[in-house]
Amino acid sequence: MSRLASASGLHRLRRSPWEVLWSGLASCGLTLLSQLAVAMVPRLFPSLSLLAMLPVAGVVFLAVIVVGRFWRRFIGVAASAPLFVLFNILFLWGVYVFVIRGGTSSLLDMVINAECAMLLFGLYRIFSGDPGIVTYESSFFEEAGCKDFVEAICPSEKFSSLPRVRHCNCCKANVRGYDHHCPAFGNCIGQKNHRLFMALLTGFVVAESTYTMCSTKYITRCINSGTIRSENPMSVNMVIGTMLFSVLQVLWQAVFLIWHIYCICFNIKTDEWINWKKYPEFQMKEQPQSDVPLEKNGQVRRTWNKLEFKAGVMQKSEFKAGEYSLIA
């Protein structure tokens, strides 16, 4: 039997260097287009409050993403979701360094730079790491006592029969403790990288909240000092646009984080919650009723074992091959 993956990262489809290059350029272009489009919201609607700009910015951002998907059909190149996330981190970091950083305290400056660096490191780790891929040669078969399978059964059926080993259609791999496939991180979320996923998701929420606080202070300082007119309008609009983008990200990521905390508390995976009808362990089976008649003296006779119930306490007696009795 052939193995499904020989090492970490081989479960993803290999792409040529040119495909990676064009995908990176498409992701970079989509990032710049989306950020510039959101930055145009305060310029086109200057009379709106920041709170009122939020839904407008959300609609504009989604519209750009939809347009980017249509571009894929015309140019034949698809943007990479992990690269899109990477370029957005770099874009926000660049706006902070070149525009906002001047009036930020040294401690806060150190914190936000450390957060961005840790996000980049965490993104690399989760993208290149092993989520818990199970192969036929894996020691998990020995742990589960399922090493000797019938050769006629297909590999996907073998793996799906193991406890919490699910098949990912995106990666074409079987993952132990499979939760979901995360396009933004370019990998499955399984038993081996679930903690890293939770830490990275929390890091995104914290970093974007910190950026929102810094950008809000910058805008407030410009308004209070009366220098907002002397500032470069493009820089101010870029700060407002990235702040709106960060708030939108925090809103859905916070809900996503709460959901995963809920799943951890109740020991359930996202895939299991969505596709629970596919898994027999989540189905309730009715116990068949016994056909053995009750005798007048209150004794029930069946084969295999002998059990005695006295005063509501069950005591198992020694094995007797012929029967087991229920004494009333």
Q: What is the pLDDT of residues 76-99, one digit of tens each?
A: 788 899 999 999 999 999 999 999
Mean pLDDT calculated for residue range 251-261: 97
When comparing pLDDT for 181 and 158, which is higher? Answer: 181
Q: Which of 9-18, 37-46, 220-229, 298-307 has the highest mean pLDDT?
A: 37-46
Least-confidence region, from 110-114, 163-167, 235-239, 318-322: 318-322
Distance CA 248, CA 116 (A): 18
With CA atoms as reference, report the closest residue to 96 among 208, 204, 184, 206. 208
Task: Report the C-alpha gap between 75 and 29 in whole angstroms.
Answer: 13
H or E, element range at 260: helix 233-265
Give the mean model confidence (pLDDT) for residues 142-156. 42
pLDDT above 80: residue 154: no
Structure tokens at 240: 């407002």
CB 79 within 8 A of CB 194: no
The residues pairing with 188 across neighbouring beta strands, listed in sequence order, are 181
- Using DSSP's 3-state secondary structure scheme, residue 187 falls into strand
pTM of the predicted protein model = 0.76
User: Using 50, 70 and 90 to split pLDDT, how confident is the model at 58?
Assistant: very high
Mean pLDDT of the chain: 78
The residue behind tokens 């006629």 is 152
Which range of 46-55, 205-214, 222-231, 302-311 scores highest in mean pLDDT? It is: 205-214
Greater confidence (3 vs 173) lies with 173
* Nearest C-alpha neighbor of 115 from the set 46, 230, 179, 208: 208
For residue 292, pLDDT over 50 is answered with no
pLDDT at 242 over 70: yes
In the chain, pLDDT over 90 holds for what percent of residues? 49
CA distance 199 to 195: 6
For residue 17, count CB atoms less than 10 angstroms from its CB and return exposed for 0-12, middle for 13-18, buried for 19 or more: exposed
Q: SS3 letters for 274-305?
A: HCHHHCHHHCCCCCCCCCCCCCCCCCCCECCC
